[in-house]
Structure 1
């Protein structure tokens, strides 16, 4: 089974390092995941195994593929059995619209902590699980994807009505 971890275009070293740490990899392996694809964005990796823009390695029973950027992460999201992501709104919406199980880790170093607010709101609605770097391994271990509430499909009529109301056309 495949888990895809993404930090988007940002730098989120803590999530990248956590994703390839022994506690997280062992938990992934123990819950049935044997392949991890990690999109690291501008993050750095403090590992002698990692050299250059991309690499593959095996750690703690998990095959790992690491790269910085691709023109799209759509294919990785579609193939993943689980997505672990920073709490960027674009990534969250893309993953939820695909109906994929999602664990988000808000980046606490961002200025206004908007990721925490979004993650919390969507967790309350039951669409995803939010966690911290420190709790990532235990969140993976206890995660029950079948308990998630499906995200509603986009409804363009509602959106256009909202814009019309906001602009005073209605």
Structure 2
């Protein structure tokens, strides 16, 4: 039986590498994530993307419902309704409505949680995990996706508004 040791290494240039290490010291890189930081009108966003899949997710420090709505509008380019929060239990699989523009994963006070995202064919798209602890994460949504929570976690769904986008003046 071969033992594998998992390590996630971060570099200062914005690259995160997932590597498995064998007991003899050889390694196998399984996925590399690139992250970038940008300023938005509502705070700093961090976009993570991986070489295997690209889950568009952004860290935000805003907390007010209207500011979260505006942040989602900025990220998605869509007119959005205010977020609707639900406590998701461990092992819940949720398929948001087709009107969902984004979900917000609250990783500020979780103990041990991973929210995994899958497409309509059950192909893994990415996740928000304990590496994102301490932040609210906005995940830009694609119709047909679903998410699975390993551990309880508050999650909000942000739906596209039915009306025209309000002017930003």
- For the aligned pair, the TM-score class normalised by the smaller chain equals under 0.3
Higher strand share: 2
TM-score under structure 1 normalisation? Answer: 0.27
Higher helix share: 1
TM-score under structure 2 normalisation? Answer: 0.27
